Amino acid sequence: MFKSVLIDKTICNGCINCMKRCPTKAIRVVDGKAEINVARCINCGECVRVCQKKAIHPNFDSFENINKFKYKVAVPSAAFFGQFGNVQDLDTTLNSLRNVGFDDVFGVARGSDVLTALTRQALSQGKLQKTCISSSCPVCVELILMCFHGLKENLAPYIPASHIAAKMAREEAIKKTGLKSEEIGVFLISPCPAHVAAVKENFYQNDSGIDGVLSVREVGIKVMNLRFDEVDIKANYKASSLGLSCAISGGEVEGTGLDRVVDVDGMENVVKFLKELEDGKHPELEFVELNACPGGCVGGVMNVENGYFAKSTITRLCREVMKGSRNVTDFADKTYDYYTIADKWKVNNAYYKLDEDFAQAFVKMRKMEDARQQLPGRDCGMCGAPSCKDFAEDIAQGKANIQQCIFINSDDN
C-alpha cells in the first residue's frame, strides 16, 4: 500500500498531536515515535497540518521525473492559480509552467467543466441516486467507504476532474505533436496527498495515464522565483469561471445549478455531516459536495499560500474570467466509461470490523469491554493510543497490553 505521508523519525518527538487529530484513528505512538497504520489511513493530511515539529511530510513525485519524457505536459489543479496573489492574470500563471520545464499546460479546471456538465445532466435525468454525493474529494470518498458504508450507493460514479483533464491533455498533446503516447509525460500539480495516493493505487479504477503527481508547493516555489514579465504567453487559459471555482468549497455545488444542495468543508464538519446523512437526516438534498480541507482544495496541505488568501485570489480571477470573452468550456463528448470508475465503489472494513468472522468479532468486543471497564477514560494518550476506547480495541486485537496504561501501572506500584 502507498504511504501518502512519511514520518521523519529523527524529528518526531512522540507528542500525541497527530494521533489525537487523525479522523480514522490510524496513528499510534510506539516507542516514542508516531506510526501510521496504512490500512486505515485515508490520506487526508491532517497529521501534516497539526505536526508542530514538521516531522510529517506528504509523499509526492519528484519534479525530476518530468525529464524522463520527450514532451512534458503540466496539469495544474485550479488551486495552483490561487498561490500567486501578485499575479494579475491566469495566462501568466498558466504559461509560467513552461518556464520551469514543461512543454505544454492543460488546466484541471477544464476537466471540472466537463465533470460539471456530466453531473448536471445525470442529475436532471434522475440517473444518480438521491442524495448524490460528489466523488471529487478522494479523502471524503475513502472516509465514506471506511466509516459510512450506508452512503456507498450515494457516491457519484465519476473519476475526478484532474483525471478527466489528464486524459484530455494527453489526447491533445498527441494530436498537436504527433508523438507516441509513451513519449508524452502528463503530470498533475496537486495540493493533495490523497490525489497522489489515488493515482498510485488506481483508486478511481480508470486508467487516466497520469505519469506522476507533483506538489503545488514544490512547483509553485519554482514559479515564484521567475520574473513574471519574462513569461511568454503562448497558450491561453481555457475554462469557465465555474471550473476555476472548483478549487473553493461550493464551486461544484454552484455548477449543478440546483437549489437543494450543500457544500461541507473541513474534516470534522464532513464527519459530522456524513453521520447525519447516514442517519437519514436531510432527505430533501439532491447533491452534496464534500471537501476534507478547510475552504476546499485551496486548503490542501501541499499548497504554498494560506488557503483563505488563495480563496480570495481565485474569487478575483473568477470575476476576471466572467468579464472576459473566453468563459468557454469543453464538452463531455466521450462515452460513459471514459468518465467513470470501472467497477462499483467497494467498502473498506479496516476501521469498523473487529474481525471478518462474526463469532471472533463477538469475542473481541467482549475483551474490549472488559478492558474498557478497567481503563480510567481520561483519554490521555500516554499508552500510545488516541483514547481509552481505541486502546481497549488494541488490547482486544492483541496489539497492546493493559499495563501500558499509566494509571493502571501506577495503581500496581
Partner 1 sequence: MSECLKFSYLVEGENFDGAGAASEDTKARLKRLGVSKEVIRKVAISMYEAEINMVIHANGGKADVMICPDKIKVVMKDTGKGIENIEQAMQEGFSTASEQIRSLGFGAGMGLPNMKKYSDSLDIQSQVGVGTVVTMEYNI
User: Could you list the residues that contact partner 1 (CB under 8 A)?
Assistant: 149-150, 275, 279-280, 349, 352-356, 358-359, 361-362, 365-366, 369
Closest distance to partner 1 from the beta carbon of 369 (Å): 7
Give the 3-state DSSP-derived string for 348-382, with helices as H, strands as E and coil as C.
Answer: CCCCCCCCCCHHHHHHHHHHHHHHHHHCCCCCCCC
Distance of CA 187 to the CA centre of its chain: 16
Nearer to partner 1, 165 or 354 (CB): 354
Between 11 and 363, whose beta carbon lies closer to partner 1?
363
| Shortest reach from residue 149's CB to partner 1, in Å | 6
Angle at 200 between CA 194 and CA 203, to 5 degrees: 65
Q: How far is the CB of 348 from partner 1 (least distance, A)?
A: 12
Q: How far is the CB of 359 from partner 1 (least distance, A)?
A: 7
Q: Which is nearer to partner 1, 202 or 397 (CB)?
A: 397
3-state secondary structure of 29: strand
Give min distance, CB of 354 to partner 1, in A: 5
- Give dist(CA 273, CA 285) in Å, integer: 12
Smallest distance, Å, CB 180 to partner 1?
Answer: 48
Grid coordinates representing 99?
A: 518556464
Contacts of 85 (CB under 8 A, 6+ apart): 305, 309, 310, 312, 313
Sign of CA dihedral 185, 186, 189, 195: negative
The least distance separating partner 1 from the CB of residue 297, rounded to whole angstroms, comes to 30
**Residue placing its CB nearer to partner 1 in the complex, 125 or 373:** 373
Non-local CB neighbours of 16 within 8 Å, separated by 6+ positions? 29, 381, 386
Task: Name which of 70 and 130 has its Cβ closer to partner 1.
Answer: 130
Closest CA to 28 of 363, 398, 391, 336: 391
Helix (H) / strand (E) element for 91: namely: helix 90-99
Pairing of strands 56-58, 5-7: antiparallel
In the complex with partner 1, the residue whose CB is nearer, 124 or 397, is 397
Rg (CA), the chain: 23
User: Which residue, 100 or 361, has its beta carbon nearer to partner 1?
Assistant: 361
